[in-house]
Amino acid sequence: MRNLLALLAAVVLVVAGLGWYLGWFHVRATPTGDGHEQISIDVDKKKIAADVKKGVEQGTHQVETFLKKEGVGTTPGVMPGQAPPPGPVGGITNSFRYKTDGTLEYTGEVSVPVPLKH
């Protein structure tokens, strides 16, 4: 329970610091009579929404670029429901085929390592 509260406090501090840095809100203290101060917080909801939308778009673009660069999840010329081309692809024998539901099925053999006797 204590760890959960510490995590929650850390998240609040990070969001508050990030929001202040990005100009999502402004805190103003105005002196009033009798030694009191009035504190006002101005929250810019439109800027928050625009920054979050921009961050999601950039993050999605960066993930897609990384996956394309690394070739993750891509088999050239293979659509769901088709079998990958037979034979070695890039020196590796292709032992997977796409099923109609979009999942992969392993069609190769599984080798189990045999322990060495000393």
Domain boundaries, the chain: 25-74, 75-109
Query: Cα-flanking dihedrals φ and ψ of residue 17, to 5°?
Result: -65, -45
pLDDT for 104: 74
Provide the whole-model pTM: 0.47
Tokens at residue 70, please? 């690394």
How far, in Å, CA of 83 to CA of 42, rounded? Answer: 58
Over the stretch 13-45, which tens digit does the pLDDT of each residue have? 998 898 889 899 888 999 888 888 999 989 999
Q: How confident is the model at residue 57 (pLDDT cuts 50, 70, 90)?
A: confident
